[in-house]
Amino acid sequence: MRKVRVVTLVGVLALVLTVAPPVGQTVVHATPLTLSETLMGLPAENAAAQPRSSTTNQPRTSRSLPVETPLTFNMVGVTAPESATAVRLRSSEDGLAWSDWEHLEFLDAEDGPDPGTEEYRRAQEIQRGRQPTHPVWVELADHVQVEVDDAEVGDLEVTFIDAMGSSGGPVRRTYETRTHAEADASTAPNVITRSQWGADESLRNSGPSYSSSVHLGVVHHTAHTSGSSANTYSRDAAAGIMRAMYRYHTRSLGWSDLGYNVVIDRFGRVYEGRYGGLTRNVIGAHARGHNTGSFGVSVIGNFVNADPPQAAIEALAGVIGWKSAIHGIDPAGETDRMSDGRWRPTIVGHRDLGQTACPGRIQGHLPALRQQAGGSWVPFPDVPESSPHRPAILELAAAGVTNGCRENVFCPSDYLTRDQAASFVVRAFGLQPIPGQRFPDLPATNVHAGSVNALAELGWIIGREDGTFAPREHLTRGQLATVLARSLNEVDRGRELVDEGIGASLAQSEGFGVLAGGVPLVAPYSDVPISHVHAPGIATLRDVGVVGDCGGGAFCPDGDVRRDSTASFVHMVRRVYSEASRAH
Residues of the chain above pLDDT 70, percent: 82
3-state secondary structure of 203: helix
pLDDT: is 46 or 526 the higher one? 526
Residue 93 CA neighbour count, 13 Å, CB half: 6
3-state secondary structure of 325: helix
Residue 443 CA neighbour count, 13 Å, CB half: 2
What is the C-alpha radius of gyration for the chain, rounded to an integer number of angstroms? Answer: 30
- C-alpha 168/C-alpha 437 separation (Å) is 62
3-state secondary structure of 64: strand
> Would the pLDDT of 521 be above 90?
no
> Would the pLDDT of 558 be above 90?
yes
DSSP 248: I
- C-alpha 331/C-alpha 341 separation (Å) is 18
The pLDDT-based confidence of 325 (bands split at 50, 70, 90) is: confident
> Would the pLDDT of 496 be above 70?
no
The pLDDT-based confidence of 510 (bands split at 50, 70, 90) is: very low
Vertex 407, ends 402 and 409: CA angle to 5°?
75
Residues of the chain above pLDDT 90, percent: 61
The phi-psi region of residue 560 (left if phi > 0; otherwise alpha if psi is between -120 and 50; otherwise beta) is beta
Asked if 164 and 88 count as a contact pair (C-beta separation under 8 A), the reply is no
Q: Closest Cα to residue 484, out of 515, 458, 514? A: 458
For the chain, how far is it from start to end, CA to CA, in angstroms?
82
State mean pLDDT over 161-187.
63
> Would the pLDDT of 10 be above 70?
no
Model's pTM, two decimal places? Answer: 0.67
DSSP 436: S
Give the model's pLDDT for residue 176: 64
The pLDDT-based confidence of 480 (bands split at 50, 70, 90) is: very high
Q: Closest Cα to residue 215, out of 295, 155, 289, 279? A: 295
- C-alpha 573/C-alpha 580 separation (Å) is 10
The pLDDT-based confidence of 54 (bands split at 50, 70, 90) is: low
The pLDDT-based confidence of 47 (bands split at 50, 70, 90) is: low
Give the model's pLDDT for residue 404: 86
Asked if 160 and 109 count as a contact pair (C-beta separation under 8 A), the reply is no
Q: Closest Cα to residue 236, out of 463, 540, 18? A: 18
Name residue 88's amino acid: R
Comparing 12-21, 28-37, 535-544, 574-583, the range with the smallest average pLDDT is 12-21
Average pLDDT taken over every residue of the chain: 84
Give the model's pLDDT for residue 7: 33
> Would the pLDDT of 18 be above 90?
no
Give the model's pLDDT for residue 467: 92
State mean pLDDT over 493-503.
38
Comparing 280-289, 373-382, 392-401, the range with the smallest average pLDDT is 373-382
- C-alpha 301/C-alpha 242 separation (Å) is 12
The pLDDT-based confidence of 504 (bands split at 50, 70, 90) is: very low
State mean pLDDT over 402-419.
87
How many residues are present in the chain? 584
CATH topology of domain 4-48+58-375: Lysozyme-like (3.40.80)
State mean pLDDT over 190-194.
87
- C-alpha 456/C-alpha 422 separation (Å) is 10
Comparing 312-326, 371-385, 470-484, the range with the smallest average pLDDT is 371-385
Give the model's pLDDT for residue 387: 92
State mean pLDDT over 194-211.
91
pLDDT digits (tens, 9 = 90+) for 230-253: 789 999 999 999 999 999 999 999
3-state secondary structure of 75: strand
State mean pLDDT over 88-96.
95
pLDDT digits (tens, 9 = 90+) for 437-448: 999 999 999 999
3-state secondary structure of 313: helix
Comparing 59-63, 88-92, 544-548, 574-578, the range with the smallest average pLDDT is 574-578
Give the model's pLDDT for residue 340: 87
- C-alpha 520/C-alpha 528 separation (Å) is 11
The DSSP result for 104-164, as a single string, is EPBPPTTSSSPTTSHHHHHHHHHHTT-EEBPPEEEEEEEEEEEEEESS-GGG-EEEEEE-S
State mean pLDDT over 182-209.
77
Give the model's pLDDT for residue 506: 44
State mean pLDDT over 176-186.
47
Asked if 231 and 54 count as a contact pair (C-beta separation under 8 A), the reply is no
pLDDT digits (tens, 9 = 90+) for 121-135: 999 999 999 999 999
Q: Which residues contact 150 (CB under 8 A, 6 or more apart)?
A: 52, 59, 60, 83, 84, 85, 86
Ranges of each domain in the chain: 4-48+58-375, 390-583
Vertex 499, ends 496 and 501: CA angle to 5°?
145
State mean pLDDT over 306-333.
92
pLDDT digits (tens, 9 = 90+) for 55-87: 567 889 999 999 999 999 999 999 999 999 999
Give the model's pLDDT for residue 29: 67
Give the model's pLDDT for residue 51: 58
> Would the pLDDT of 23 be above 60?
no
